[in-house]
């Protein structure tokens, strides 16, 4: 074998450098330029196949090989290249689609737990004195109709758009401004059961109207002041998120003197509630005590450096939403509802942020949206009306509320979870009458004994190892073999061409 390779190389060298013993030299003058280039290219290809370290290539140009042997080796090399490329592509696809794994971390004393964020939505948003003055000074003749419209509008959500009375005396793009001007002041007392912690109550506009958030990082992006200023920049909050540790014991926070009935939503600091979020209700003059436990999912720095498609989650600053300055999973669902509202009724409700030439829904448009809110089919027990119900009262579309199609299939909104998230489970909800006002207390009693970690299980180094193993298994080549290909396509080709031209 060594003798064959040496002999073949000597023949190629003689042909390259124009040995005087060559018998084809006299006839080369009669050849055209095309034939000369063709012969030189063929000789250069033979030179590469003969000297390459990739196994099997030299057998296709070795002297004395039968044509069937050449075909056999050509087939074997082709199959080996296919197997190597196919398995390498599978490895690369795995790296692009699922390089991460979510594992459990059980060292509960090694981390801090995020204190739960609450969003309080008072049921009576309007200041009756302000409303009385506004109605009295308005030019509307039917004062009662105007007052009923404003009260219904202040409490309007996807659940009750149909209850808003018809009224066209106020432009739809002034709805939110009117509600904010007539909203009652919300100035309860906030106390934190930990020293050195100062948190604010941040007003925020939600799908349930004007609400107030505590310990939230993203509520400020939907605050009235942020929207009025037409800001789209990221806000660095003055107060960092409140964390607690198991050694801190039971930690509570209280909002005292709310002065109205309310709905409260418990969620993570990096999220906001929407119309489908589970809520807890308290009437006026009741004391509500919520005890929760947390379930944390966090992403390691190595996994954070992956692309969004690889880790299948997003951070707050990886925003793709048009109506929001930051990204959260719930805000993405809101964006999906906005697209559906524009699709079916060509407008968006007043509590969403308007961009461009989007139209704010008037009363008729809001009633149009209610048709797509949907309700569950009622169960009918009397046999005489079962068939009628099945025919006339089929499952209605529940797209805007649950983001589901008529057949129950979820609408693909393209929403990914946030990478660092905290979910809370309410362990108990104690509600008792309280003669000193309407109060809310919430906190963590039972600390989580585990948390979930999103980390890399199959990194780029593993890809290189796997691809190198496939290339070595099928072709017996290494990094130097690929460098040979680059060498023959660049520097060696230039030298070969220069030698052929000067000859």
| Inter-residue contact 421 to 297 (CB < 8 Å) | yes
Q: How far is CA 197 from CA 184, 191, 362, in A?
A: 28, 9, 44
pLDDT tens for 427-470 read: 989 999 988 889 999 998 888 888 999 999 988 888 999 999 99
Q: Which of the pair, 128 or 12, is modelled with greater confidence? A: 128
Per residue in 381-412, pLDDT tens? 333 333 333 333 333 346 677 777 766 677 88
Q: Let me know the angle formed at the C-alpha of 225 by 288 and 260, rounded to the nearest 5 degrees.
A: 25
Mean pLDDT value across residues 85-109: 89
Q: Give 469-492 pLDDT, tens digit per residue.
A: 999 999 888 888 889 889 988 988
**Three-state DSSP state, 456:** strand
Residue carrying structure tokens 């919520």: 290
pTM score, two decimals?
0.78
- Residue 209 phi/psi, 5-degree rounding, is 105, -160
Give the pLDDT score at 261.
92
Cβ 155 vs Cβ 210: under 8 Å: no
Quote the crossing angle between the two packed helices 491-502 and 479-489, to the nearest 10°.
30
Map out the domains of the chain as residue ranges. Answer: 2-96+473-502, 102-456
Tokens of 69: 């042997």
Coil, strand or helix: which one is 119? strand
């Amino acid at each position: 074998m060594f003798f064959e390779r040496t002999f073949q190389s000597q023949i190629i060298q003689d042909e390259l450098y124009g040995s005087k013993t060559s018998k084809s030299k006299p006839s080369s003058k009669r050849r055209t330029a095309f034939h000369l280039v063709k012969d030189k290219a063929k000789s250069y290809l033979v030179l590469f196949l003969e000297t390459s370290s990739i196994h099997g290539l030299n057998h296709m140009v070795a002297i004395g090989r039968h044509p069937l042997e050449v075909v056999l080796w050509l087939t074997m090399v082709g199959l080996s290249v296919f197997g190597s490329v196919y398995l390498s592509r599978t490895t690369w696809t795995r790296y692009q689609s699922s390089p991460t794994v979510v594992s459990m971390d059980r060292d509960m004393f090694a981390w801090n737990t995020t204190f739960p964020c609450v969003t309080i939505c008072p049921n009576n948003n309007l200041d009756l004195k302000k409303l009385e003055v506004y109605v009295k000074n308005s030019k509307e003749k039917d004062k009662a109709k105007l007052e009923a419209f404003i009260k219904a509008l202040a409490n309007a959500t996807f659940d009750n758009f149909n209850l808003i009375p018809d009224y066209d005396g106020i432009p739809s793009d002034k709805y939110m401004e009117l509600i904010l001007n007539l909203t009652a002041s919300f100035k309860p007392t906030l106390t934190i059961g930990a020293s050195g912690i100062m948190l604010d109550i941040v007003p925020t506009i939600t799908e349930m109207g004007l609400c107030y958030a505590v310990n939230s990082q993203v509520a400020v992006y939907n605050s009235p002041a942020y929207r009025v200023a037409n800001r789209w920049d990221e806000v660095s909050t003055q107060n960092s998120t409140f964390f607690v540790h198991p050694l801190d014991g039971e930690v509570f926070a209280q909002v005292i003197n709310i002065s109205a009935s309310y709905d409260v939503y418990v969620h993570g600091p990096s999220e906001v509630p929407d119309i489908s979020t589970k809520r807890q209700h308290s009437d006026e003059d009741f004391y509500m005590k919520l005890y929760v436990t947390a379930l944390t999912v966090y992403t390691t720095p190595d996994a954070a450096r992956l692309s969004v498609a690889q880790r299948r989650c997003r951070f707050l600053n990886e925003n793709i939403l048009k109506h929001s300055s930051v990204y959260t999973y719930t805000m993405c669902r809101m964006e999906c509802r906005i697209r559906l509202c524009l699709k079916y009724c060509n407008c968006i409700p007043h509590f969403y942020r308007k961009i461009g030439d989007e139209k704010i829904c008037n009363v008729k448009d809001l009633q149009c949206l209610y048709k797509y809110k949907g309700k569950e089919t009622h169960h009918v027990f009397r046999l005489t009306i079962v068939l009628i119900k099945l025919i006339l009262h089929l499952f209605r579309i529940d797209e805007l509320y649950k983001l589901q199609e008529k057949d129950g299939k979820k609408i693909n909104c393209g929403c990914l979870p946030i990478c660092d998230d905290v979910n809370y489970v309410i362990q108990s909800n104690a509600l008792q009458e309280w003669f000193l006002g309407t109060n809310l207390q919430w906190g963590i009693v039972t600390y989580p004994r585990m948390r979930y970690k999103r980390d890399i299980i199959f990194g780029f180094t593993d890809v290189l190892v796997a691809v190198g193993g496939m290339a070595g298994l099928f072709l017996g080549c290494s990094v130097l073999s690929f460098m040979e290909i680059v060498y023959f396509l660049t520097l060696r080709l230039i030298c070969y061409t220069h030698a052929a031209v000067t000859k």
